[in-house]
Amino acid sequence: MADKPMAQQAAQAVPSGGAVRRASLSVHIMRFRELGLLGFVVLLALLVQWRNPSFLTLENINDLLRNAAILSILALGMMLVIVTRGIDLSIGATLALSGMITALTVSANPGMHPMAALLLGTAIGLACGSLLGWFVARLGILPIIATLGMMNVFRGLTFTISGGKWVSAHQMPDSFTGIATGSILGINTLIFIAIVAYAVFHYFVNHTRTGRQIYAVGSNPEAAVISGIPKERLLWLVYAIMGALSGLCGVLWVAKFASAQGDTAMGYELTVIAACVLGGVSIAGGVGKVSGVLVGSLLIGMLNNALPLLNVSPFWQTAIQGGIILLAVLANVWVKRSVDRNHLLRRRI
């Protein structure tokens, strides 16, 4: 709020005319760091719309959001993990495990309330995440190694529990698949859950002591410990949250596709990490915003939705996807750099 008048002052104080113009331009940009990315999203949307007019229809936007909902929820948890300088490669496996156990439970008890299924999945994910958090926080195992190991353990468990079999649509009651097709207040349940998750995370990250402490641990672990921040407990918490979200998404995934396979979401963790990095979360830790992650997830969701609409050769699709992600990151970095330059400008005065 206080940014704007201060920045205007700064702009006026700069002597040369050219600099004034550049600075005031940056002032507007500065109000939203992820503007570069957002601009890119809008540009891409217009481009796709020009190629295929059915892109910006209500139905397609609904489909897009529905497909991106799970990714965006996972990206929130991943953001916290990356902010603490960690990484979680096990989320795809956790998602599959929770989805498989929930699907088996639901097919055995068709009368189960959908809410109970969601809670069960979240609890399984929480257990997986807590175990991981314990490994990382207490035993001090490098996150990449701990999560890589547990990824295989969870994936193996999924196969063992299911006996290699799939749980198919005809084994799931309508109330369960209804989780993904139903709506709350006129909004699809998946999208609704994502919105709630973003609201809660926005508050948690920006307005609670624990939320701020997570960033402190990420940007300078030593200083955080010296100033009395319980680093171990926070690390554990971060992985537990990630696990719980993966568990929740496992149920959503299975309900959405009406099928639970052993290899559900294999490799999905990389997409989630990509969404985070796109959204400006720094792998080096300490940096990451909820709004950025949202835009990053939306961009990936948009690519997945738009590429089938454009008549491009399947051989080109992945290359185009990679190229666009790279361009988006470049655009974002460029905008951020000009923002930082503006910050430096202000500091001198």
Partner 1 sequence: MKRRLILMLMFLLSISLLAAACGGNNNSGNTGNSGASGTEGNSSGQAEAKDDTPKKHAIIFKNAGNPYGEKMIEGFREAMAELGHEVIAKAPDQPTAEAQIQIIEELIAQKVDSIAIAANDSDALEPALKKAMDRGIKVLSLDSAVNANSRLVHVNQADPERIGRTLIQAIHEMIGGEGQIAILSATSQATNQNIWIEWMKKELENPVYANIELVKVAYGDDLRDKSVSETEGLLKSYPDLKGIIAPTTVGIAAAGKVLTDKGLKGQVQLTGLGLPSEMAEYIESGVCQWMYLWNPIDVGYLAAYAADALVKGDITGAVGETFKAGRLGEKSIVRDGEDGTQIMLGDPFRFDQSNIAEWKNVY
Residues that bind partner 1 (CB under 8 A): 52, 54-55, 57, 59-60, 63, 67, 135, 139-142, 145-146, 149, 152-153, 156, 159-160, 162-166, 168-171, 181, 257-259, 261-262, 264, 304-305, 307-309, 311, 314-315
Considering the complex, what minimum distance in angstroms separates the CB of residue 189 from partner 1?
A: 12
Residue among 8, 77, 4 nearest 273 (CA): 77
State whether the Cα torsion 254-258-262-265 is positive or negative: negative
Considering the complex, what minimum distance in angstroms separates the CB of residue 309 from partner 1?
A: 5
Measured from the CB atom, the residue of 180 and 339 that comes closer to partner 1 is 180
Measured from the CB atom, the residue of 83 and 151 that comes closer to partner 1 is 151
Q: Please, which residues bridge with residue 184 across strands?
A: 187
For residue 106, the tally of other CB atoms under 10 A from its CB is 27
Considering the complex, what minimum distance in angstroms separates the CB of residue 312 from partner 1?
A: 11
Produce one character per residue of 131-144: b if its CB has 16 or more CB atoms within 10 Å, e if not. bbbbbbbeeebebe
Considering the complex, what minimum distance in angstroms separates the CB of residue 298 from partner 1?
A: 15
What's the alpha-carbon Rg for the chain, to the nearest Å? 22
Considering the complex, what minimum distance in angstroms separates the CB of residue 93 from partner 1?
A: 13
Contacts of 211 (CB under 8 A, 6+ apart): 204, 205
Considering the complex, what minimum distance in angstroms separates the CB of residue 157 from partner 1?
A: 9
Contacts of 265 (CB under 8 A, 6+ apart): 92, 95, 96, 99, 253
Q: Are 49 and 305 in contact (CB under 8 A)?
A: no
Measured from the CB atom, the residue of 105 and 317 that comes closer to partner 1 is 317
Measured from the CB atom, the residue of 83 and 128 that comes closer to partner 1 is 128
Considering the complex, what minimum distance in angstroms separates the CB of residue 24 from partner 1?
A: 42
Considering the complex, what minimum distance in angstroms separates the CB of residue 113 from partner 1?
A: 21
Q: Are 73 and 245 in contact (CB under 8 A)?
A: yes
Residue among 121, 162, 113 nearest 252 (CA): 121
Measured from the CB atom, the residue of 191 and 307 that comes closer to partner 1 is 307
Measured from the CB atom, the residue of 1 and 315 that comes closer to partner 1 is 315
Measured from the CB atom, the residue of 166 and 204 that comes closer to partner 1 is 166
For 228, list phi and psi in degrees, rounded to 5. Answer: 85, 15
Distance CA 217, CA 233 (A): 11
Distance CA 70, CA 245 (A): 9
Measured from the CB atom, the residue of 50 and 349 that comes closer to partner 1 is 50
Distance CA 176, CA 209 (A): 37
